[in-house]
Amino acid sequence: MRIAILEDDVGQAAGLESLLSSDGHQVHVFSRGRVLLASLAVQSYDLLVLDWGLPDLSGLEVLATARPWLRGRTPVLFLTQRDAEADVVAALEAGADDYMTKPPRERELLSRVRALGRRAVAAPAEEERFTAGPFTVDVTRQRIERDGVPIPLTRREFDVAVLLCRNLGKVLSRAHILEAVWGRGDSTTTRTVDTHISRLRAALGLSAASGLRLTPVYGYGYRLEAVNGEVT
């Protein structure tokens, strides 16, 4: 998953980044609430991990600002030293999905992160074969079929298709797609994402007639969505 962490303590942020990265996640750390909010305006994440006490905005203020316009169903986990019942209730009622106190037990934190990820995506990440509209996606064999007929795709096109299908209905930023498919350290530009999206739309015939539509979100990224809610 692509995870944004809001934590101003350098040591704690480094520990969280190391732990989550070792579990296969792509982690982005922010030390100020306003900087995270600015990122959320142009980037998408699979999970937000918020501290409560920050120098500029509190985690609760960040959540209150971000929740109404978060693209798709992005889960939020509070990770803070505040352990009063009133604080837990306030965070959950503001829209947080889970709440943990510091210092977290590492295995428990990883388990909760994975659980939030499974609840957020359209198709569970561990499924190696699943359907999206008229398509059957076989991750193990690295192919997509329609009516039993394989559709020729390059490896990158297939990886982009899997990412979109697993996030059906969710807007993904170009940087999100680039990082998930090409890797965080890759020098490829977001223009490459646009090129692969164009080829994928043509190869799969993604239009209203197919039951799945791939639409651009201006200045942000793309969303693969069911047409008229007919896709299961």
| 45-102 pLDDT per residue, tens | 989 999 999 999 999 999 988 877 775 578 999 999 999 999 999 999 888 999 999 9
pLDDT band at 231 (very low <50, low <70, confident <90, very high): very low
User: Residue 155 carries which side chain, given as an amino acid letter?
Assistant: R
User: What total number of domains does the chain contain?
Assistant: 2
Do 100 and 182 belong together in one domain? no
Nearest by Cα to 80 from 44, 58, 51, 111: 51
The domain boundary residue, chosen from 120, 151, 176: 120
- The pLDDT of residue 122: 47
> How far is Cα 13 from Cα 17, in angstroms, rounded to an integer?
6
Do 185 and 212 belong together in one domain? yes
Confidence (pTM): 0.72
In a domain, 56, yes or no: yes
In a domain, 232, yes or no: no
Do 113 and 55 belong together in one domain? yes
Q: Which residues pair with 5 in a beta bridge?
A: 29, 49
Q: List the domain range (segments joined by +) for residue 96.
A: 2-120
The domain boundary residue, chosen from 92, 120, 148: 120
DSSP tag of 71: S
**Under the phi-then-psi rule, with left for phi > 0, alpha for psi from -120 to 50, and beta for the rest, what region is 61?**
alpha
Nearest by Cα to 9 from 77, 59, 83, 75: 59
pLDDT band at 123 (very low <50, low <70, confident <90, very high): very low
Task: Supply the mean pLDDT for the chain.
Answer: 88
Residues 204-215 have a mean pLDDT of 88
- The pLDDT of residue 110: 96
Do 144 and 88 belong together in one domain? no
- The pLDDT of residue 232: 44
Do 139 and 111 belong together in one domain? no
| Crossing angle between the packed helical segments 59-66 and 33-40, to the nearest 10 degrees | 20
The domain boundary residue, chosen from 120, 138, 162: 120
Positive or negative, the Cα torsion across 158, 159, 160, 163? positive
Do 54 and 141 belong together in one domain? no
Residues 202-228 have a mean pLDDT of 88
CATH number for position 95 = 3.40.50.2300
DSSP tag of 86: H
- The pLDDT of residue 105: 94
Residues 99-120 have a mean pLDDT of 90
| 129-180 pLDDT per residue, tens | 888 888 999 998 889 999 889 999 999 999 999 999 988 888 899 999 998 8
Give φ, ψ of 44 to 5 degrees: -120, 150
- The pLDDT of residue 191: 84
In a domain, 231, yes or no: no
CATH number for position 172 = 1.10.10.10
